[in-house]
Amino acid sequence: MKMKGVSPLIAAVLLIVFTVAIGAVVLNWMTSYTQGTTERAGTDTSSTIDCAKQILSIENVSKSNGRVTVRIENLGSASADLTNLYVYDDAGNSCEITISETLPAGGFRIFTAPETTQPPNSECDKVNNDTYTVRVSSSCGASDKFTYPKG
């Protein structure tokens, strides 16, 4: 019995077909990957620019009986969506107050947290009245810090 293999011409054609098919698959994957990455980069860049236009400034803070009164200004050119207020001291006492407030560009807001219609926050009451730090954050994560006493 004589065994016959694939002729060299057919083998060469098969190698070329497989190479072109693999190249087409890789090209298709790279095209979709590059388009997706480019779109995400564009979205991330525009939101980063919008966040850079927000400049939050805590102008004044007072604290008494578990209530924190804060005056926040947006010195930037874009509105800021405020999300949280943090009050803490060096001893590790802290409280977090969730706020949902949009502060327009160039605007300011004075608010008391918790509002006077609500009971005081017992966690905030534990924070030392003589030395404490207040932070406010926005949806961008940008925050300003106010330390009392100012130093």
Q: Given this model, what pLDDT does residue 18 score?
A: 96
Phi and psi, residue 133, nearest 5°: -125, 140
Q: pLDDT tens, position by position, for the chain (151 residues)?
A: 676 777 888 889 999 999 999 999 999 999 999 988 888 777 777 778 888 888 888 888 887 776 778 888 999 898 999 988 888 888 888 888 888 889 999 999 887 766 655 566 667 778 887 888 888 888 888 677 888 776 5
Quote the number of domains for the chain. Answer: 2
Q: Given this model, what pLDDT does residue 95 score?
A: 82
> What is the span of the domain harbouring residue 89?
56-148
- CATH no. for residue 102? 2.60.40.10
User: Does 134 fall in a domain?
Assistant: yes
Residues 142 and 83 reside in one and the same domain: yes
Residues 12 and 45 reside in one and the same domain: yes
Q: How far is CA 149 from CA 50, 68, 82, 89, 112, in A?
A: 32, 15, 24, 11, 19
72: nearest Cα among 149, 9, 141, 135: 135
Taking only Cα atoms into account, the Rg of the chain, rounded to an integer number of angstroms, comes to 30
Contact criterion met (CB below 8 Å) for 51 and 105: no
User: Does 23 fall in a domain?
Assistant: yes
Q: Given this model, what pLDDT does residue 151 score?
A: 58
Residues 35 and 72 reside in one and the same domain: no
Q: What is the pLDDT of residues 120-140, one digit of tens each?
A: 666 777 888 788 888 888 888
Residues 33 and 70 reside in one and the same domain: no
User: Does 45 fall in a domain?
Assistant: yes
Q: Given this model, what pLDDT does residue 21 score?
A: 96
Q: What is the pTM of this model?
A: 0.61
- Please state whether beta strands 94-103 and 80-88 pair in parallel, antiparallel, or not at all (unpaired): antiparallel
Residues 118 and 78 reside in one and the same domain: yes
The last residue of a domain, from among 52, 70, 86:
52
Residues 19 and 79 reside in one and the same domain: no
Residues 14 and 79 reside in one and the same domain: no
Residue 100 bridge partners (DSSP): none
Structure tokens given for 115: 């509002």
CA 126 from chain center: how many Å?
A: 29
